[in-house]
Amino acid sequence: MLLSDFLKIKIPIKHNRMLYALAIILGCACGYGNLMQPVSDFISSAFMKIFKCMSLPIIAVSVIVSISQQSANLQLKQIGKHTLLYTLGTTVIASFVACILYLLISPSNITSAINGNPIDAIQNGKYADCILNIIPSNILSPFLEHNVMGALFVGIITGIAIRYTPISESQSWNNFFKMIQGMFLIIIGWVVKALPLALFGFISTAVVQLKNGTHMKGLGGYLAVILLSNLVQGILVLPIFLWVHKINPLTMLKAMFPALSVAFFSKSSVGTLPITMKTAENNLKVSQEISRFAFPLCTAINMNGCAAFIFTTIIYVMQNNGFESNLFTLLQWIFISTIAAIGNAGVPMGCFFLSMSLLTSMDVPIDILWIILPFYAVIDMVETSLNVWSDCCVVKIIDKKFRVGQNC
């Protein structure tokens, strides 16, 4: 199958809605009743490995192909500028929304005793280490360590280097990476057909994890701030962003349903990237050039949900340890959480790691995080969906803007 033939394949959302609904119902039922748990664990683990296996190579290859194309130099720079501008703007707004809701809800302190640290290993390393990890020690380490920012760094440097090679050689390199990209996209087509099975495994496993949650005492306000921040950003702020650019949010939501559903239950925006790109190109008609450059970039730096989590968690843990937060402190943490979210190196439980690193760097006790941890599975599901939804909104707006510019 040629790449051009593959890109003509459509994701039949209307015909597959029953399969998605059936997968969700069966997943919830099996998870709640502890039925077929070994099977669902195997399915979720297998698909998660498939997503992770494809995601980083696609990030690197897509960026290389986009940057190395000689004819798209000026436009590519403009796409990059708009992507950075929109992602930075939406992430700052996400932190600001979390700040407003925190002041309105005023979550109370945790009154229960805190015993033990379930994940002592998380304390190892500082936030600066995550930044240093962007620069790999060898070209394969980002892919072996699943370092998103490292893979993006390798892709950008390689793409720029190809642009500076002689034209005949650069064209050969560009064709080579295009063939690799086409190969991965064909594999994605196979995975898309099995999405209902993947959803069953993810949902069943997630329900079991939720059943093992601990007490809610003292955490209700904190969890409300985070969840409401994500909901306000997802169903109010971003849709307004779309309406301003004359894009129908409901149409987009229906079109991106396969990607958003996988993001929610897999809890990995990076792992969902292949599905997100294919769905946007087929259902939203986003151009390949923009999709394969903007989506990898957004996936690495557009972290609306992560910014809201970092801000709320930092302020809440400081509050529980007797630190008072004035208006200046809150404004300061809006921007710090934004920068921290953008600098997320893609490590497992990335937002949790970043919050812990920032707290330990200020010598703030982090025992409360062990009570928050059991609920992180729910938070992570909502955050991931918001991150992918924000990526889709940004990329669609950029695609429309550049299509209009080309038609003028």
Ranges of beta strands (E only) in 162-309 are none
Tell me the pTM. 0.66
User: What span, in angstroms and rounded, lies between the C-alpha atoms of 37 and 31?
Assistant: 7
Q: How many structural domains are present in the chain? A: 1
* pLDDT tens digit sequence for 212-242: 554 455 678 898 999 999 999 999 999 999 9
Q: Give the closest residue to 134 by CA, choosing from 329, 315, 344.
A: 344
The label of the residue with tokens 């997968």 reads 23
Which CATH number belongs to the domain containing residue 218 in this structure?
Answer: 1.10.3860.10
pLDDT of res. 33: 78
Alpha helices in 212-248 (DSSP H): 220-232, 238-244
pLDDT of res. 5: 43
Q: Structural domain of residue 385, as residue ranges?
A: 3-407
And the tokens for 255? 């079109």
Do you know the residue count of the chain? 408
Which pairs with CB-CB distance under 8 Å and at least 24 residues apart come from 249-254?
A: 252/284, 252/392, 252/393, 252/396, 253/389, 254/13
pLDDT of res. 345: 47
Positions of the chain with pLDDT under 70:
1-17, 51-52, 55, 59, 66, 69-76, 111-133, 146-149, 189, 192, 206, 209-218, 343-350, 353, 357, 360-361, 367, 370, 373-374, 404-408
Question: In a 10 Å sphere around its CB, with 0-12 CB exposed, 13-18 middle and 19+ buried, how is residue 358 labelled?
Answer: buried
* pLDDT tens digit sequence for 14-49: 446 677 778 778 888 887 777 777 888 888 778 777
- DSSP per-residue codes, 340-351: HHHT----TTHH
pLDDT of res. 231: 94
pLDDT of res. 207: 73
